[in-house]
Chain A
Amino acid sequence: MRSMAYIQLNNQLPGITGLLENRPDTGDPIRALTQILLRGPNTLTELERELIATLVSYKNQCRFCTSAHAATVIALGGSAELLNQVYNDLDNAAVSDKMKALLVIAGKVQQLGTAVTPENVAAAKAQGASDKEIHDTVLIAALFCLYNRYVDGLGTYRPEDPAYYEKLASRLITVGYTRPREGITVTGEASFH
């Protein structure tokens, strides 16, 4: 028996997908922002940007978002080991020094905006991070502080089956974050409820 979200949705889709489908008035700008930040032209790779999203979701203890973006990281060529390093041992993680510095900034943003210090930013710049990369890191981290609270604050349903997250990751890689023209249900994600 699935647990119910705190409010009645117009669909049976899990996690954020159900919320975005339920309210296109707010869902569409959230999707558009995510598409630009995570899939738009950028000197940070999609894998690097998904790592930022995953780390913030992990720190916010949002199991749905962490599972979804971890699966996306892995589908983009990352690994469970890489994720474990980023969560628990960033200094020794198999990412560039620039990414380590950007992930430190993302972790600060997760705490609070004012937690980001000039030293954190200077360290990222010293490793070659551009102004836009720093900007996008801060905004991706901030966006996931929205997502994680939205998903858990309304008590949405989280599938346990890893196959759900593999399907979701596949859509996030091939279609991206904009709504599929045919709707979500064609991907088979709706069967996980």
Chain B
Amino acid sequence: MAHINLHNDLPGIRGLMEYSPETARPLNDLAEALLRADNSLSRGERELIATYVSSLNDCFFCQNVHGAIAGHYLNCDIPAIDAVKQDYLSAPLSAKMKALLGIAALVQKGGKQVTTAAITAATEAGATEKEIHDTVLIAAAFCMYNRYVDGMATWAPQNRQFYVDRAPQRAAEGYADYDLHK
């Protein structure tokens, strides 16, 4: 049960967006700009950042939605996504992605945790300033989305296959213009 009566039975952030369409619009526009718009980071890489931060924030709904979408784009299964969450440094990722995930983890703890050393490491691994910016903002944005979803105590399907089955449709429809009920 959510903390308030949402007047719908949609899971996670979808129930909140149905309840509050006015705030849903900019929340969705931000996700579209960060996760799907043209970028030198692939959609899969950006979804992976979102997934990792959501797992650090212990948000079951978000880490499973975005983990499944990341797996869809990166053509890997859920155990592979889980391995990134558990130990990204040992995962088969580029040095640049590892450095960016390192920055994302610092942002999750707090903005002040990000050091010039972490930025320099990402730059030396080939990250552009735009990629660093987008990593920080994706991580910061999921510190918002995760708190919204869990702070309202929304419900989430517990079967993880639910998210995997829906990932291709979610990836295709994007965040800006979709039907909450489908």
A binding-site residues for B, Cβ under 8 Å: 6-8, 23, 25-26, 28-30, 32-33, 36-37, 40, 60-62, 105, 108-109, 112-114, 116, 118, 121, 131, 134-135, 138-139, 141-143, 145-155
Contact = CB atoms under 8 A, between A and B. Distances in A.
B119 interface: yes
A6 B116 contact: yes
Given A6-B114, A33-B26, A109 B19 contact: no
Nearest to B58: A114
Nearest to A121: B3
Interface in B13-54: 16, 19-20, 22-23, 25-27, 29-30, 33-34, 37
B151 A148 contact: no
Interface residues of B, number: 49
A31 B130 CA distance: 20
A146 B140 CA distance: 4
A153 B106 contact: yes
Contacts of B37: 25
Contacts of B59: 113-114
A26 B57 contact: no
B18 to A, nearest CB: 12
A147 B137 CA distance: 9
Nearest to B7: A131
B4 A154 contact: no
B150 A26 contact: no
B141 interface: yes
Contacts, number: 142
A151 B111 CA distance: 7
B144 interface: yes
A26 B5 contact: no
B20 A135 contact: yes
A121 B59 CA distance: 19
Given A135-B4, A149-B111, A112 B147 contact: yes
Contacts of A141: 147, 151
Interface of B: 3-5, 16, 19-20, 22-23, 25-27, 29-30, 33-34, 37, 57-59, 103, 106-107, 110-114, 116, 119, 129-130, 132-133, 136-137, 139-141, 143-153
A32 B151 contact: no
Given A25-B37, A112-B150, A142-B148, A155 B116 contact: yes
Nearest to A144: B144
B121 to A, nearest CB: 12
Nearest to A152: B111
Given A6-B114, A7-B133, A33-B27, A113 B140 contact: no
A40 B26 CA distance: 14
* Max chain A Cβ within 10 angstroms of own Cβ: one of B133, B144, B147: B147
* Max chain B Cβ within 10 angstroms of own Cβ: one of A6, A118, A153: A153
B143 A146 contact: yes
Contacts of A118: 3, 153
Contacts of A121: 3-4, 153
Given A116-B3, A152-B112, A152-B114, A33 B30 contact: yes
B23 A33 contact: yes
Contacts of B4: 121, 131, 134-135
A40 B22 CA distance: 10
24 contacts: A7-B132, A23-B133, A26-B33, A26-B34, A29-B26, A33-B26, A37-B23, A109-B147, A112-B147, A113-B151, A116-B3, A116-B150, A116-B153, A118-B3, A121-B3, A121-B153, A142-B143, A145-B147, A149-B107, A150-B136, A152-B111, A153-B106, A153-B111, A153-B113
